[in-house]
Structure 1
Amino acid sequence: MNSKNIVFDSELLHTFKKKLKGALFCEVEEDENSDEYRHVQFVGQYEGAEVIYDAIIYTLRLQHELELYEMAEHEAAKHFPDYKKLNYEEDENGNLKALDSEEEAIGLYMAEVIIDLQEEEVVKVKEHIDYDLSEENAIGLDVGLHRESISTKTIEEFIAQFNNGKVTLDDTWYSFHQEEESA
């Protein structure tokens, strides 16, 4: 990596550390963080230099669901000649508007594809850390963890292990089944 990259900018790093106010990380507020997905930034080392990491940390269950949905979209695009992504809109009360008949058919088809993919366990995911060195102000991390949720404690443990070079990833491939929602 080029040491002139802004990631190594000491002024930017100093400003970021002041923003942390002694905390181990800060959440990126613009993102829709949830129990299964957190977007955080923290300070760490890369090739002997102190840098800012911009990390997306999520559960394997969420990754699995997203991959299932992408595969179902792909199959729907092959099955429906005039396929367009489903666009869920809300009415003035915040309720979802009804889909038109073609959108409803696409949605039902995608649901069937997802069920089939789950039953066949076509999609499998495992813990991983992927680096993105193309970001301008930080080193990007894409982190999938086999946890029920991504809590503050989970993030703190990950950062501590990551910064100490002691992250141990589970090599097991996992497949998940969506739980039935009760009415």
Structure 2
Amino acid sequence: MNEGFDPEEIAELKKECEQEGQNYVIVEDEDGMNDSGEFAHFQFVGKHEGKEVIYDAVMGTLRLNHSSLVFEEAETRMKKAYPNYVEIDKRKPNHKIDEDLELMLEEIIEELEEEEVIKVKEFVEVEPDFEYGIGLDVSLNVEEITHEVITKFINEFNAGTLKLDPTLYSFTSEEE
């Protein structure tokens, strides 16, 4: 049974929200992604098919979404051009970094950004078959994921008034 539909779980989350004085609670993720300001994982109570349910949402900025898609595409191109290239998430702890390949990867990323190969727009993906409640994957065109951004999103989502920007955007990474 999906506990996110359980009235007791829902009542518990409502109580936590009340204690925090907001319409959601932040889920502390192990990887510390919440700390970047470009991402948040939170839960809130909403309705689905007329019944209350817990929504488990991850929200990121469009810039973050864009940079991960650019990075994926760059790694795909690296893999094609250099079959011995090992994607970052597949590397073993003792992986020896090849400086030349890393520079090539950076060049591909810059090229993809300059040519605006990847474009992104705001979206909300609903995952009804989620392990806890209903999953939401959200990407919004904001500089930062703040308390105000989350609160406004939940209010509009629950009221059915959420309007997503259909404009396609492309970003360039800020130089360090």
CA distance 1:77–1:121, shift in 2 (3 Å) = same
Q: TM-score, normalised by structure 2?
A: 0.88
Deviates more, 1:29-38 or 1:139-148: 29-38
Identity value in percent: 43
Unaligned runs of 5+ residues in structure 1 are 90-96
Structure with greater Cα Rg = 1
Rounded to whole Å, the distance in 2 between the matches of 1:88 and 1:107 is 16
1:35-114 to 2 correspondences below 5 Å: 35-86=37-88, 87=91, 100=96, 103-114=98-109
Rounded to whole Å, the distance in 1 between the matches of 2:92 and 2:163 is 39
Q: Deviations over 1:53-108 (max 9, x none)?
A: 0111111000000000000111111111222123597xxxxxxx9x84x6222211
Identify the residue that residue 10 of structure 1 maps to in structure 2.
Answer: 7
Rounded to whole Å, the distance in 2 between the matches of 1:153 and 1:54 is 18
Counterpart of 2:135 (choices 140, 161, 180) is: 140
Q: TM-score, normalised by structure 1?
A: 0.85
Counterpart of 1:177 (choices 159, 172, 176) is: 172
- Counting helix residues as a fraction of each chain, which structure ranks higher? 2
Counterpart of 1:168 (choices 163, 166, 171) is: 163
Rounded to whole Å, the distance in 2 between the matches of 1:144 and 1:153 is 15
Unaligned runs of 5+ residues in structure 2 are none
